[in-house]
Structure 1
Amino acid sequence: MSKFTLAIVAGASAAVGAATTAALFGIGGRRGRETNTIPVSSTVTTAPIDPTRTIPPPPVPIRRDDPGVPAVPPVDPSGVFQYGFPGPVADLRAAPSLTSSFDRARRNPHWVAEHITPASLMLNNGNRRHSVFAEDLSIPEKFRAKLTDYQRSGFDRGHQVPAADAKWTQEAMDATFALSNMCPQVGEGFNRDYWAHLEDFCRRLTTFYPSVRIVTGPLYLPKRDVDGKWKVSYEVIGHPPNVAVPTHFYKVVFGEDGKTGGKVSMAAFVLPNAPIPNDKPLQDFEVPIEAVERASGLEFAGLLPPVRRKKLCQEVSCSIIVKQYEERQRNPFNPPPLKGTPPPTTLTER
């Protein structure tokens, strides 16, 4: 999906959502008429009932300055909270190597944030062979993804924060193996290939920036159906099927210059959850951060003043290095080239 298409899709999704909400809940033309009205108490006289009507007539509007209006509202809608707060609940998780917010409805994270530095990547005290995939027991059982949900699903348990970014302690690495840090991802051609190359690109940024922050998460984007209408459609896996398979994934990257109040170089990428040829340029997937925000309903840099913002892909060449997994593990610090230099490629047989 191109940058322009993503922006259109995100905008179209917002417009369609607003129109649908208005249609379902009657928002729009009534708003102006209700500005000076309040709910009618049981003592207020209503309009005569038309015997031909099968439903009660609407209440007679009463002005706010009407002396018959009670000083205390006759109803308490928030009283339902005495039985429990309906939600949504974000299930924030703070672990040594990540911070995340969980989407109970789709059994996937909303977002997962990490922080990597040259020092954190140099340490090698964690071994993924000692880590095991595990359900996140901090999430209520009926909402969490389970190990059995991925069995024979055809999808990988795709790390949002990769284990290779958390080798500084075994505890940090273990935290990345909780299913709340996973989404169903296509394996060959994506999770084990292009997506892994993107993760490698993010690590290589630490040779240029002393501090790199990354927010990763799933998207469920609409596409035009044969009838010309935009629709959101995604597979669901599990037993029972309740873990959503994202249509796309995003990464929002912040390259910090290490100075208090310094500049922050930013870039956002959106990739389809599908096989991607290794010769596909990474910049084909770069999109405005605002497009990711509109599509996800999240905000990533609302408190960062424009004067501090820079464009990351204007400072370094946003390109991947294609290499096998073992080679990526041995050479995590091949730096991204500066802008204007040809991107390196290391093609290997797969």
Structure 2
Amino acid sequence: MAAPGYDPDFLGVPLPVPELGPGPEADAVRLDGSTRVDYTHFSLALSASRRFAYWVAWNVDGGGLRKLARTGIPFVKDPRLPEAAQVGDEVYQGNRLDRGHLARRADLLWGTEAEAKRANRDSFYFTNITPQVDDFNQSVRAGLWGRLEDALYADVEVDRLRVSVFGGPVLGDDDRAYRGVLLPREFWKVIASVQAGALKASAFVLTQSLNRLESLDFAEFRVYQVPLAELEPRLALGFPPALVAADTAAPVAAGLDERPPLDSADDISWS
């Protein structure tokens, strides 16, 4: 059975997946002629040259989440896609690199038990994974970045407890090369919800360092809330106009290194 993938109508407001710019469109891996690759509760577009996702889009049913173990599920390449277009275990062996999920595994475990189990397995495809230094990855899971969706549920009343999320790595030309792979140092996420009948969207960037890394030691990471329109040229992606219009961040003139990072969930503007 084909995986249903990301549902653009999940919130009752049409939110299609991001549109690839000319460069990413030409570079994206295709499956049955489409740049969109579907899995259970999430979809993505994969860069053939970088071998990581340009974007991942997923739906979260906060009222139907299940707790399932991750033990015994292997990280594997998606057999539907060219093996050479996917970074696999070769970059993770014998070092401090972790396999970091883009679509958060816990977000995907909803629906029927069978659906949740499929989503659990699907989340371990390497197409949904990026390398992260172990200390960094552990901090991400325990820190603000890993708790963004949870913070939204805690801070505002979300209609039907449903959220749609877009995210991925920032694929920079100056990312550090390691074993023939350019390691992303920045990540982005856009969280969309309906609050009192109105669509709201909040965009974030996580950066480990704004300077070029000279080793595999990553600086302390920082999380920033950014205007959604600021992400589009940075990523060469186009977001749905309804999503951009629903942005909760005020426009800012300063660059990331000139504005304060988020210290806690209390600093986030959700509405």
Q: TM-score of the superposition, structure 1-length normalised?
A: 0.54
Structure with more relative contact order (C-alpha pairs < 8 Å, separation 6 or more): 2
Verify the 8 A CA contact 1:219 1:250 in the aligned structure 2: yes
Structure 1 residue 142 displacement after superposition: 2.1
**Partner of residue 294 from structure 1, selected from 208, 230, 233:** 233
Distance 2:238 2:207 in 1: 21
Structure 1 residue 293 displacement after superposition: 0.8
Distance 1:288 1:191 in 2: 25
Structure 1 residue 141 displacement after superposition: 2.0
- In structure 2, the residue matched to 1:235 is 176
Structure 1 residue 199 displacement after superposition: 2.4
Matched residue count: 211
Distance 2:233 2:53 in 1: 17
For structure 1, the residue ranges without an aligned partner over 5 or more in a row are: 1-85, 222-231, 322-335, 340-350
Structure 1 residue 302 displacement after superposition: 2.4
For structure 2, the residue ranges without an aligned partner over 5 or more in a row are: 1-24, 31-35, 111-115, 209-217, 251-261
Q: Specify the SS of the correspondent of 2:58.
A: strand
Structure 1 residue 297 displacement after superposition: 0.4
Structure 1 residue 303 displacement after superposition: 4.3
Distance 1:213 1:256 in 2: 10
Map of 1:301-320 to 2, 5 A cutoff?
301-304=240-243, 306=245, 309=246, 311=248, 320=264
- In structure 1, the residue matched to 2:182 is 244
Identity of aligned residues (%): 23
- In structure 2, the residue matched to 1:266 is 201
Distance 1:145 1:88 in 2: 16
Verify the 8 A CA contact 2:59 2:165 in the aligned structure 1: yes
Distance 2:268 2:96 in 1: 39
In structure 2, give the amino acid aligned to 1:131.
I
Q: Specify the SS of the correspondent of 2:146.
A: helix
For the aligned residue pairs, the C-alpha RMSD in angstroms reads 2.9
Distance 1:143 1:87 in 2: 14
Question: Alpha-carbon deviations, 1:231-276, whole Å to 9, x = none?
Answer: x4222334xx2x321121111111223x7xx422111111113443
Verify the 8 A CA contact 1:186 1:275 in the aligned structure 2: no
Say if 1:305 and 1:236 are closer, same or farther in 2 by CA, change over 3 A: closer
Question: Alpha-carbon deviations, 1:119-156, whole Å to 9, x = none?
Answer: 232x22x2111322111222212222222232124321
* 155-164 vs 197-206, which moves further: 197-206
Q: TM-score of the superposition, structure 2-length normalised?
A: 0.68
Determine whether 1:218 maps to 2:157. no
Say if 1:95 and 1:297 are closer, same or farther in 2 by CA, change over 3 A: same
Say if 1:214 and 1:196 are closer, same or farther in 2 by CA, change over 3 A: farther
- In structure 2, the residue matched to 1:163 is 105
Distance 1:254 1:196 in 2: 22
Larger radius of gyration: 1
Verify the 8 A CA contact 2:58 2:108 in the aligned structure 1: no
Distance 2:186 2:177 in 1: 14
Q: Specify the SS of the correspondent of 2:56.
A: strand
